[in-house]
Each structure stands twice: as C-alpha cells, then as structure tokens.
Amino acid sequence: MERLSEEALASIVELMRGHGLTAKVSSIHVNGWFGGCDKLTTTMALLREAFATDLDAARAAHVFVGDPPNDVPMFACFPHSVGVANIRQFAGRFAHEPRYVTRRASGTGFREVVDCLPDARSNGASASAGLPAR
C-alpha cells in the first residue's frame, strides 16, 4: 500500500484538530482523540489502577516497543525503549527517540524484541540486550 504524502497527512491532522481532536501521525495511521491524554498517561493510569504498579518507580523493569510519533512520550519514559526499524523514516524529528532500534520493521521488528526476552531473563541481562543501540 502506498503511503500518503506529507501534505495529505497534514491535511488530515488539520481537519481533526479543527474539530477539537488531538491528532498524531503514526507509521500506519492517524490517531485522533478528544481530551488531553496520551499513551504515557493512559499507561500510567492502567498500571496504577489495574496492577497496583507505580510506573515512575518501576520503569526500568519494563521494555517499551513502538514507533513514533505517537510513542515519543513512551520513549522518553522508558530506559529500555525500542523502536521498530520503520522508525528510521522519522529519525531526528523528535526530542526523545528510542534507545534501541530493531533490524526489522513493524511486526517482525516487534518479534525481534520478543525473541530477545527469554535469553535476557535466563541470563539476567537487560531484555534489550542483543538489539542495536541507536
């Protein structure tokens, strides 16, 4: 499938914002929502309310995998942040980029991270061990 032009994406974002939505472009779609929440605030609330976990205290125990721009707050939060390879199309555009980038894009990049987890758990290494640093 052909990717929309930057102009078309900007038009969609402008239309959504004109109707009061927050709009963020991801690598596969434009996210739109009402209100001031983002992925990080929602994740923090979910972990606190459903799992009695204070993310501020436990962030080093977690790995976040994503791609920008809607994941930028998550990359800033997690010391073990991983971007799938398609993040490279956004390189240099954001204040916070992931610490690691997979060799493969999209779902296969996520699988690359998942494949690192059993080895990391068995040898006590970081789950991001084996991934190329940014």
What pTM value is reported for the model? Answer: 0.73
Residue, of 62 and 131, whose pLDDT is higher: 62
- Of 26, 30, 28, the residue nearest 11 (C-alpha): 30
Residues 6+ apart with CB under 8 A from 107: none
DSSP string of 5-23? PHHHHHHHHHHHHHTT-EE
* pLDDT 10s digits, 69-114: 778 899 999 999 999 998 888 788 888 889 999 999 888 899 999 9
Q: Judge whether residue 16 has pLDDT over 90.
A: yes
